[in-house]
Amino acid sequence: MRLPEVGKIEEGGPADLILFKGRTYSELLSRHQGDRLVLRRGKAVDRTLPDYAELDDLTPRSACTHN
């Protein structure tokens, strides 16, 4: 595909990535990721989770349960 910039981490690069705490994949996958750090364009993203109601339009109606 000739995408030489894909997968590079360098000073001045786009820095869109997620950092997790975990020494192994087992540790990474066995715990919640509330302590992850999300970077977009090199800046930390707000970690506040949205209210579930804000996500309603992103899921098909059959997947949502409304009481």
pLDDT tens per residue across span 24-64? 989 888 988 778 888 888 888 887 878 888 888 887 765 55
Are 3 and 12 spatial neighbours (Cβ–Cβ below 8 Å)?
A: no
Query: Domain limits at 56?
Result: 17-63
- The whole-number average pLDDT for the span 15-19 is 85
Note the pLDDT of residue 3.
80
Does 48 reside within a domain? yes
Note the pLDDT of residue 64.
55
- The whole-number average pLDDT for the span 8-17 is 80
Q: How many domains does the chain have?
A: 1
Does 56 reside within a domain? yes
pTM: 0.52
Instruction: Say which DSSP state 58 is in.
Output: G
